[in-house]
Amino acid sequence: MFDVHRKEIDWGGRPLVLETGRIARQADGAVMARYGDTVVLCTAVGDKSPKAGLDFFPLTVNYQEKTAAAGKIPGGFIKREGRPTEKETLTSRLIDRPIRPLFAKNFKNETQVICTVLSHDLENDPDMVAMVGASAALTLSGMPFMGPIGACRVGYRNGQFELNPAQSDVPSSELDLVVAGTSEGVLMVESEASELPESTMLEAVNWGHQQYQKVIDAIVELAEECANEPWSVPEDPAEKETVHAKLREQFGGRLREAYAIADKKQRQVELSTIRQEALDALADNEMELYVAPSVLKDLEREIVRGSIIESGKRIDGRSVESVRPISAEVGVLPRTHGSGLFTRGETQAMVTTTLGTGQDEQIVDALEGEYRQHFMLHYNFPPYCVGETGRMMAPGRREIGHGKLAWRALNPIMPSKESFPYTVRVLSEITESNGSSSMATVCGSSLSMMDAGVPLPRSCAGIAMGLIKEGDNYAVLSDIMGDEDHLGDMDFKVAGTREGVTSLQMDIKITSVTSEIMQVALNQAHDGRMHILGEMEKAITAAREGVSERAPSITVIEVPKEKIRDIIGPGGKVVREICEETGAKIDIEDDGTVKIAAVDKAASDAAINRIRGITAEPEAGEVYQGKVVKIMDFGAFVNFLGTRDGLVHVSQMADYRVNHPRDLVAEGDMVYVKCLGFDDRGKVKLSMKQVDQETGQEIEKSE
- pLDDT tens sequence across 155-190: 999 999 999 999 999 999 999 999 999 999 899 999
pLDDT for 311 = 86
Q: What is the pLDDT of residues 402-424, one digit of tens each?
A: 999 999 999 999 999 889 999 99
Q: CA torsion 237→238→240→246, rounded to 10°?
A: -160
Contact 343, 327 (CB under 8 A): yes
Q: Judging by DSSP bridges, how do beta strands 375-380 and 423-432 pair with one another?
A: parallel
pLDDT at 702 over 60: no
Q: Residues of the chain with pLDDT > 70: what percent?
A: 99
Q: CA torsion 247→250→251→256, rounded to 10°?
A: 110
pLDDT for 39 = 98
pLDDT for 278 = 85
Task: Give one DSSP letter per residue of 341-410, joined into a string.
Answer: EEEETTEEEEEEEEEE-GGGSEEEEETTEEEEESEEEEEE--GGGGT------S--HHHHHHHHHHHHHH
Average of per-residue pLDDT across 14-22? 96
Average of per-residue pLDDT across 8-32? 96
Domain residue spans of the chain: 5-226, 239-311, 326-536, 553-615, 623-687
Q: Which CATH number fits domain 239-311: 1.20.58, 1.10.287, 3.40.1350, 1.10.10?
A: 1.10.10
- The residues pairing with 647 across neighbouring beta strands, listed in sequence order, are 637, 685
- Is the torsion defined by CA of 661, 663, 665, 666 positive or negative? positive
Q: Tell me the C-alpha distance between 115 and 339, whole Å.
A: 40
Return all residues near 223 (Cβ < 8 A) that are at least 6 apart.
136, 139, 140, 148
pLDDT for 106 = 86
Q: Residues of the chain with pLDDT > 90: what percent?
A: 58
Residue 530 gets which letter from DSSP? H
Q: What is the pLDDT of residues 650-682, one digit of tens each?
A: 888 888 888 888 888 888 888 898 888 888 887
pLDDT at 450 over 80: yes
- AA letter at 427: L
Q: Tell me the C-alpha distance between 43 and 34, whole Å.
A: 14
pLDDT at 703 over 60: no
- Between 459 and 563, the more confident residue is 459
pLDDT at 147 over 70: yes
Q: Tell me the C-alpha distance between 337 and 550, whole Å.
A: 6
User: What pLDDT band is residue 449 in, cutting at 50, 70 and 90?
Assistant: very high
- AA letter at 213: Q
Other Cβ atoms less than 10 A from the Cβ of 514: the count is 13
User: What pLDDT band is residue 701 in, cutting at 50, 70 and 90?
Assistant: low
Q: Which of 375-389, 416-430, 631-645 bottoms out in mean pLDDT, i.e. has the lowest?
A: 631-645
Q: With respect to CATH, is domain 5-226 assigned 3.30.230.70?
A: yes
pLDDT for 378 = 98
Q: Judging by DSSP bridges, how do beta strands 593-598 and 585-588 pair with one another?
A: antiparallel
CA 131 to chain centre: 20
Closest to 58 (Cα-Cα) out of 103, 99, 109: 109
pLDDT at 122 over 80: yes
User: What pLDDT band is residue 466 in, cutting at 50, 70 and 90?
Assistant: very high
pTM higher than 0.85 for the full model?
A: yes
pLDDT for 225 = 93
Closest to 336 (Cα-Cα) out of 197, 444, 484: 444
Q: Do 326-536 and 553-615 share a fold? A: no
User: What pLDDT band is residue 199 in, cutting at 50, 70 and 90?
Assistant: very high
pLDDT at 363 over 80: yes
pLDDT for 167 = 92
Q: Tell me the C-alpha distance between 146 and 619, whole Å.
A: 80
Q: Tell me the C-alpha distance between 50 and 234, whole Å.
A: 9
Provide Rg for the chain, Cα atoms.
33
Domain boundaries 623-687, corresponding CATH code? 2.40.50.140
Return all residues near 368 (Cβ < 8 A) that are at least 6 apart.
70, 120, 122, 167
pLDDT for 690 = 87
Mean pLDDT of the chain: 91
- AA letter at 652: Q
Burial (0-12, 13-18, 19+ Cβ within 10 Å), 591 = exposed
pLDDT at 30 over 90: yes
- Is the torsion defined by CA of 451, 455, 456, 458 positive or negative? positive
Phi and psi torsions of 461, nearest 5°: -135, 160
Domain 553-615: CATH superfamily is K Homology domain, type 1 (3.30.1370.10)
Return all residues near 152 (Cβ < 8 A) that are at least 6 apart.
12, 128, 163, 164, 178, 179, 208, 211, 212, 215
pLDDT for 390 = 92
- The residues pairing with 119 across neighbouring beta strands, listed in sequence order, are 39
pLDDT for 642 = 67
- The residues pairing with 588 across neighbouring beta strands, listed in sequence order, are 594
Contact 174, 194 (CB under 8 A): yes
pLDDT for 494 = 97
Contact 34, 19 (CB under 8 A): yes
- Between 450 and 627, the more confident residue is 450
- Is the torsion defined by CA of 684, 687, 693, 699 positive or negative? negative
Domain boundaries 326-536, corresponding CATH code? 3.30.230.70
- Between 214 and 306, the more confident residue is 214
pLDDT at 505 over 70: yes
Q: CA torsion 103→105→108→109, rounded to 10°?
A: -30
Task: Determine whether the annotation assigns residue 663 to a binding site.
Answer: no
* Residue 312: strand, helix, or coil: coil
Average of per-residue pLDDT across 280-294? 80
Peptide bond into 230 cis (omega under 30): no
SS3 content of the chain, % helix, strand, coil (to 5): 35, 30, 35
pLDDT at 547 over 60: yes
Q: What is the pLDDT of residues 584-610, one digit of tens each?
A: 899 988 888 899 998 888 888 888 888
**Angle at which helices 86-99 and 397-410 pack, to 10 degrees?**
100
631 HSE (CA, 13 A, CB side): 13
Task: Determine whether the annotation assigns residue 485 to a binding site.
Answer: yes
Q: CA distances (Å), 693 to each of 175, 625, 631, 672, 687, in order?
A: 66, 10, 18, 6, 11
pLDDT at 117 over 90: yes
User: What pLDDT band is residue 497 in, cutting at 50, 70 and 90?
Assistant: very high
pLDDT for 699 = 82
- Between 412 and 646, the more confident residue is 412
